[in-house]
Amino acid sequence: MNYGEMVKELNELLGLKGSPVAVKLVENADEIPDGYKKMDEKKRHCEFVQDARLKGNKGYATSEEHLCKGGAGVMGIETLPESVATGSMYYKLGNFETAEGALETVNAIPKARKNNYASIYAPLESAEFDPDVVVLILTPKQALKVSQSLLRKKGGRISSDYSGIQSLCADAVAAVKERGIPNMTLGCNGSRKFAQIADEEVIIGLPPENLEDIVEALKVFKEKWG
């Protein structure tokens, strides 16, 4: 797939801010592409995504580089901390009225089924690997166009499965990789605070094989609707 040409067309058709982000979860160190280095500072998964999107950063992060252990945990890079796995952290933070509600929510959060060594990041147009997921950070109007594009060929509905926590890690990456279908999410307190996802932005995670249909549909919409 020619990702460079696709990103060029997506930018022309949608007017993206920054790049779509290629994300891949790998089980072993020998799956890291040549030339990719460990991230040089510890950050959260959502921050690594934003750095690839807005700064063009490439690299990979093992459990050592992931500051947010909840994010690393749902992606299978390390064991979920007990406070996250039981929901007690979110209950104490005031997200939920009861501990039972917190536990029910975290049990339902999408999680990687395999143990992984690292997560890899790059702007899609310059990724030297086949991503598991492409993360788009969009305005609602752009997300509408992408949603319409996803449905043009076969119809149906767009999944938007989220709980307001662990958004770019669980909702936009783990859910999409495990289910093989797109998912739209609204961000979370952490991603909006630390990765500075803007108030007017939403997130869509896509299987990369959907990109070609999106671009083709957007071209048709431009021709028909202007």
Cross-strand pairs, 61: 119
Q: What SS3 string covers the chain?
A: CCHHHHHHHHHHHHCCCCCCEEEEEECCHHHCCCCCCECCCCECHHHHHHHHHHHCCCEEECCCCECCHHHHHHCCCCCCCHHHHCCHHHHHHCCCCCHHHHHHHHHHCCCCCCCCCEEEEEEHHHCCCCCCEEEEEECHHHHHHHHHHHHCCCCCCCCCCCCCCCHHHHHHHHHHHHHCCCEEECCCHHHHHHCCCCCCCEEEEECHHHHHHHHHHHHHHHHHHC
Supply the pTM of this predicted model.
0.96
pLDDT at 220: 97
Please provide the average confidence, as pLDDT, over all residues in the chain: 97
- Which band of pLDDT confidence, cut at 50, 70 and 90, is reported for residue 94? very high
| Alpha-carbon gap, residue 124 to 88, rounded angstroms | 36
Q: Considering only CA atoms, which of 225, 80, 90, 97 is closest in space to residue 149?
A: 225
| Alpha-carbon gap, residue 206 to 226, rounded angstroms | 25
Average pLDDT over residues 179-189: 97
Average pLDDT over residues 175-200: 97
Question: Is pLDDT at 148 greater than 90 in this prediction?
Answer: yes
Poorest-confidence range of 1-10, 118-127, 196-205? Answer: 1-10
